[in-house]
A = this chain, B = another copy of it.
Amino acid sequence: MKYFFVYAHPEPISLNGLLKDEAIQALTAAGHEVEISDLYAMKWKAVADGEDFPERDRATPLHYPSESGKAFKNGTQSVDVAEEQRKLLWADVVVFQFPLWWYGMPAILKGWVDRVYALGFAYGVGEHGGARWGDRFGEGVLEGRKAIVAVTVGGRMSHYGPRGVNGAIDDILWPVQHGILFYPGMTVLPPAVLYEVERSSEESVKAMVRVYVDRLLAAQTTEPIGYRSQNGGDYNDVQVLKPELSPDARGLAVHQHEPAFVSNTSLGTSGKYTPQHFAPTSRE
Residues of A near any B CB (own CB < 8 A): 10-14, 40, 46-50, 61-65, 101-108, 110-111, 113-114, 117, 129-130, 133, 137, 154, 156, 158-159, 161-168, 171-172, 174-175, 178-180, 183, 198, 230, 235, 238-241, 249-255, 267, 270, 283-284
Residue of B nearest to A228 (CB): B165
Tell me which of B48, B64, B198, B239 contacts A158 (CB under 8 A).
B239
A167 touches B238 (CB 8 A): no
Measured CB to CB, the closest approach of chain B to A200, in angstroms, equals 14
Given contacts A102-B117, A105-B110, A107-B114, contact A283 B163 (CB under 8 A): no
B61 touches A11 (CB 8 A): yes
What is the oligomeric copy number?
2
Compute how far the CA of A230 lies from the CA of B104 in the bound complex, rounded to whole angstroms.
Answer: 20
A239 touches B159 (CB 8 A): yes
Given contacts A110-B104, A179-B172, A238-B156, contact A40 B49 (CB under 8 A): yes
Measured CB to CB, the closest approach of chain B to A244, in angstroms, equals 11
Compute how far the CA of A133 lies from the CA of B228 in the bound complex, rounded to whole angstroms.
Answer: 36
Given contacts A106-B48, A238-B156, A238-B267, contact A101 B114 (CB under 8 A): yes
Neighbouring B residues of A178 by C-beta, 8 Å: 103, 167
B102 touches A110 (CB 8 A): yes
For this complex, 30 residue pairs linking A to B, each with C-beta atoms less than 8 Å apart, are A10-B62, A11-B64, A14-B62, A40-B47, A101-B114, A102-B114, A102-B179, A102-B183, A104-B175, A106-B114, A110-B110, A111-B111, A133-B165, A137-B165, A158-B239, A163-B240, A163-B254, A164-B240, A165-B235, A165-B241, A165-B255, A167-B255, A168-B252, A171-B171, A172-B174, A172-B175, A175-B175, A250-B250, A250-B283, A252-B252
Neighbouring B residues of A172 by C-beta, 8 Å: 174-175, 179
Neighbouring B residues of A198 by C-beta, 8 Å: 65
Neighbouring B residues of A104 by C-beta, 8 Å: 104, 110, 175, 179
Tell me which of B12, B64, B102, B284 contacts A250 (CB under 8 A).
B284
